[in-house]
Amino acid sequence: MRRPLNCLLLTIALLFSTLAVSAAVSFQKEDQWTKWTKKEAEKMLSDSPWSQGQTETDTSEMFFSPTSDPSKPGNRSTSNDEARLSQGATNQAVNVKYFVRFFSARPVRRASVEVRVQVAPASSER
């Protein structure tokens, strides 16, 4: 009866000590955010659990559709002629990329500050 209890206590003690060491290491790494390079800070702002890029693709423009000017006589009007005349016919997929960042997350705020701090000395030297 005494042996399983000792084994259980030893296992729990090892588990807590492992957790304490890993927490100390992560805390130590977290304090070094002021030493991030610009590349590391930009990576945090563009590809992290709190900041992701999203690409939306409009494939409706991929297919050829002739554009005719409906104001000229003899040309018939189609549903998208006005828009295609004003913005041009692309006849290819149109990609829009945007980023979603949660500035409530501490790593994103730190990365944002770090990028601004690294840019500020360069702009003040001019």
Q: Where are the beta strands (DSSP E) in the chain?
A: 51-58, 94-101
**Could you tell me the pTM of the whole model?**
0.47
Residues 78-106 pLDDT 10s: 555 566 666 666 677 888 998 888 988 88
Residues 101-124 pLDDT 10s: 898 888 899 999 998 888 876 665
Q: For residue 97, what are its two tokens?
A: 């990329």
pLDDT higher than threshold 50 for residue 27 = no
Q: Where are the domains of the chain?
A: 32-50+102-126, 58-97
